[in-house]
Chain A
Amino acid sequence: METMEKLPTKIITTESPKYKLIAENIVASYDGVVAVKNVTMKFRDRAVTALIGPSGCGKTTFLRCLNRMHELTKNAKIEGRVLLDGEDLYTNKQDPIINRRKIGMVFQKPNPFPTMSIYDNVAAGLKLNGLRNKSVIDDIVEGCLKMVYLWDEVKSDLKKPGMSLSGGQQQRLCIARALAIQPEVLLMDEPASALDPIATQKIEEMINELKKEYTIIIVTHNMQQATRVSDYTGFMYLGDLIEFGETKQIFENPRNETTARYVQGQFG
């Protein structure tokens, strides 16, 4: 198993750190169960931040708070602030739809729209957001499919249903769909958990490429994956953020004992 020798090079070195997204004092619950207890995290622009932790630690719930998706869950409650470029998503008087389009999301299981073609799946968000120019739509669809390395595989079958693709291709299609609306932040909830190793590798390569432009936050239960793709890592346990720092530090030199036990694979 290739492990930690190949840490990604950091992009931001000289400038003072710029935070794209800041989550402050997030407390989230559903059905009376508190899933996230007072978590504060700052996410740097053009970097990949991984959230790791055993299942049930609240990492997915926390992720869903970042684009106001959590409140769609039944009996969901949330407190705290989420600042995107300094603007609070939760207190601003505008509808959540305005901010969701700035924060794309990829889900654990691929969820293409089953009745739509590959092309229409990618274009769905474009038409929704008022893009009418056919040639621009064509350009974006092609560009996004290229970004997820899907273009060469599907360019002759754009009219085929999205469901005709393999699982890994479907997931990349969903990422292309999320990228098409030109978001600034990309949230990924265990995007590779349902995929085979080859498809996983493609997704990871893609993340390394995408982070040149995007702020990426990825939830994963796979520690090797976190070391391969992320610059920063947060370890969550029982709804708390236990430790947050550079990925190399978290995995090689954890300061917290629970973190140490987790990254050494002693539980989880």
Chain B
Amino acid sequence: MITVEQRAEFRKHFRYNVGRRLVIDKIVKGVVFGCVILAIVPLGSILVEVITNGSAALSIEFLTQIPGAVGSADAGGIGPAIQGTIVLIGMSSLIGVPVGVMGGIFLSEYGDNRYGRTVRFFNDVLAEFPTIVIGIFAFVMIVLTLGNFSVWAGTFALSIIMLPIITRTTEESLKLVPITYREAAFALGIKRWAVITKIILSQAKNGMVTGILLAVARIAGETAPLIFTILGSSQFMDGFNGPIDALPLRIWRLSSLPYDNAVAQGWGAALVLILMVLSINIGVRYIVLRKKGRGLKLRMRGGAL
């Protein structure tokens, strides 16, 4: 037992240093706030540069025409790139959305077992995969097999990038639907597939749409896998078996050309791309924040960032 005398003795040894500790506290707070500023400055700079440099290039011709000959005074436009990006997003969604949604349904409704955990784990790993590896894989598997660069190959690669994001968000959205809905429906004797498709999915719709849109925003900006699959083109699309252009690929090509008008066009293409990607992201996050609160947003992180 500590006696009163002992306590008085102990107290003499305390050096509270409150002043110094509060100064350290203030310094740390300042440094930490500085970290936030350090992260925001690049985003601000990117937006300012893309908007100021890019808006100079914008015109109807720029958005619709094919690129001019390299080095010529008439730089033409980025029509094929915009077309290609839209085609690729549509085609990839045709594969990625149904497979991803079904995968998410499996994980949420049938996945509470060892196999489900395995799939979930590898799904998360695939979501973080270097996309260039997926690109060179699609090259070996599709381009080398079919013999040419094609929309198919690009579609295949991009759908693999979409897939884990959609699977993950679908699973999380379905899990947010209260278990009582399922119990009530099962109690009525409705079959499981009908419960899922007719009741659960309609409840989870918002979250799933969110995931799909974020996946679209993600593949819209992907460049590396396209180098190996669609090659790029200065013409509008000529069937699914041939090469095609895409916005990020065009930005890369334009930025590496030693001509000022090409670089100016690169900024213009970057403006179009960033408007697409950020408007989807801001819109989706705004809706999520307003409607679903934190729960879903937190869980989406796994794949969607």
Contact = CB atoms under 8 A, between A and B. Distances in A.
Q: Within the complex, are A and B direct neighbours (CB within 8 Å)?
A: yes
A12 to B, nearest CB: 16
B10 A139 contact: yes
A132 B15 contact: yes
Size bin of chain A's contact surface: 20 to 34
Contacts of A94: 18
Interface residues of B, number: 15
A177 to B, nearest CB: 14
B15 A143 contact: no
A129 B4 contact: no
Contact of A213 (B7, B10, B15, B16): B7
A133 interface: yes
A182 interface: yes
A94 B21 CA distance: 13
Contacts of B38: none
Contact of A144 (B2, B4, B11, B22): B2
A130 B17 contact: yes
A63 interface: no
A95 B18 contact: yes
Contacts of B7: 182, 213
A181 B14 CA distance: 9
A1 interface: no
A87 B191 CA distance: 70
B28 to A, nearest CB: 14
A147 interface: yes
Contacts of B1: 143, 146-147, 209
Contacts of B22: 95, 97
Interface in B1-34: 1-2, 4, 6-7, 10-11, 13-18, 21-22
Nearest to B6: A143
A37 interface: no
Given A95-B22, A146-B1, A129 B14 contact: yes
B16 A101 contact: yes
Contact of B15 (A98, A131, A140): A131
Interface string A88-125: 00000011011001000000000000000000000000
A136 B10 contact: yes
Interface of B: 1-2, 4, 6-7, 10-11, 13-18, 21-22
- In the complex, the 7 A-B pairs of residues with the closest C-beta atoms, listed nearest first: A130-B15, A143-B2, A136-B13, A130-B17, A129-B14, A131-B13, A129-B16
